[in-house]
Amino acid sequence: MTSNQRNQSKDNHSRITDEILDALLQGDDPQEVLESEDLLMDLRRRLTERILDAEMDYHLSSSDDPNSRNGHNHKTVLTSTGPMPLDTPRDRQGTFKPKLVPKYVRRLPGFNNKVLSLFAKGMSVRNIRDTVEELYGIEVSPDLISTVTDAVMDEFKSWQTRPLESTYAIVYLDAIHVKVRDAGSVANRAIYLGIGIAEDGRKEVLGLWLGEHETAKFWLSVLQDLKHRGVADILIAVVDGLTGFPEALEAAFPETTVQTCIVHLIRNSMSSASYRERKALSAALKTIYTAINADAAATALDAFEESELGQRFPDVVRRWRRSWERVIPFLAFSQELRKVIYTTNAIESLNASVRRAVQVRGHFTSVEAAKKLIYLALREATKSWGKPIPQWSKAKRELAIHFGDRFNASNGWVLPNQSGKSKPRDAK
């Protein structure tokens, strides 16, 4: 293919032809244009003004009342790439309400999203202000940044009360510990995350709750919240030794299987060993949680207790024995399903992202501030969620056999359509 043919092929797939580019670059140094944002900002401004003029044309043509143009208003809006001056059209009757850039709006959604993204990474208001000034050369007040981030709390409240699926195959409950300043002192507070895997294999953050006191009453309130939002059944709940949780679960979801989080149990066991000892300890523990069944796992635990390694780490043996009744349920499943139950990379990645944002912030002025940051961090970290977790097609068949009518294995992966509603994968 010749150079002309390649250029012709590109033109066929792009509305910006070589002639348009030549006109835009006429009299300018291409290198300077490439390094500067001025041309792109000017294109964006002209396109925005063209659309606003088209909105005005439609407004005038669709009105029965006598009306006409009345010049322009000049204003500057903040965008994701910097400040953009605009001339917005006016009409004599004052009835024109543009949709692209509404009246009185000084920040386009792209700018707000940039601020929220920086906040979700744990940056303080002062750091965000300095970053915006460095990147875009504009000064924004701390009050403006606070207004942008505070506005997300209405979204959080809607998210926290949204309807949920009727059945979740697996629900993970995990704690994020934050430092909150209260009455002049800083105290540790626990905020619990609920992460569910629906029958179609999609992951979803169910909510977050402040743990005032880790009691059966507290956990019952969390589980009742899930029930009020439409959850009728949970097949397996994966938790990490939460006080009062089994009693609350028995009251709210009596058929649910409670499984100790094996990942947390292993990590807690590793904390007793030095760096050099961890490899051998990890290998010894693996013989327990990969045993073919509960009896074989009990034999492996006995063997570990009697071994030299077990004698050196009696606290690890005691930890596994205390948790034993909650360790063995998943041993009834295949190795493939066990891996789905005790860990998923996406959930580990989610927890790491949230904890990283919390650590960057250090401490919070209130619980609400902590919730706001965690929610935004969750929103950022789950943007790529939507597909079923790996190996779900095999796992759901086994779940259907084990749980019978409680699990609908035919539930297909649901895709969002352009209207925001969901439709089955095979829907036309």
Instruction: Give the C-alpha separation, 316 to 178, whole Å.
Output: 27
1 within some domain: no
Q: Which of 150, 173, 207 is the last residue of a domain?
A: 150
Same domain for 176 and 48, yes or no, is no
- Do 171 and 131 share a structural domain? no
For residue 186, give the H/E element and its range.
Answer: strand 185-198
Task: Check whether residue 209 and residue 70 sit in a common domain.
Answer: no
pLDDT (0 to 100) of residue 411? 60
- Whether residue 124 is found in the same domain as residue 181: no
Q: Are residues 142 and 242 in the same domain?
A: no
Q: Give the total residue count for the chain.
A: 428
Per-residue model confidence (pLDDT) at position 4: 54
Measure the CA angle with vertex 372, ends 131 and 242; round to 5°.
130
Let me know whether 175 and 91 are in one domain.
no
Domain interval for residue 140: 109-150
Residue 413 in any domain: the answer is no
pLDDT at 413: 43
Complete DSSP assignment for 253-267: -TTPEEEE-HHHHHH
Same domain, 72 and 204: no
Per the domain annotation, does 378 fall within a domain?
A: yes
The H or E element containing residue 380 is helix 367-381
Query: Do the domain assignments include residue 397?
Result: yes
The residue ranges of the chain whose pLDDT is under 70 are 1-41, 43, 80-81, 107-112, 135-138, 212-214, 343-347, 409-428
Cα–Cα nearest to 116, from 148, 138, 153, 143: 148
**Is 30 inside any structural domain?**
no
**How does 329-341 read in b/e, with b if 16+ C-beta sit within 10 Å?**
bbbebeeebbbbb
Cα Rg for the chain, rounded, in angstroms? 28
Measure CA of the first residue to CA of the last residue in the chain; give whole Å: 39
Say whether both 139 and 253 belong to one domain.
Answer: no
Q: Cβ(185)–Cβ(155) under 8 Å?
A: no
Domain contains 26: no
Task: Say if residue 117 is in the same domain as residue 204.
Answer: no
The count of domains in the chain is 3
For residues 226 and 143, membership in a common domain is answered with no
Residue 323 sits in the same domain as residue 214: yes
Note whether 108 and 72 are within 8 A (CB): no
Question: How far does CA 293 lie from the centroid of its chain?
Answer: 35
Domain end point (choices 121, 150, 179): 150
Q: Are 258 and 387 members of one domain?
A: yes
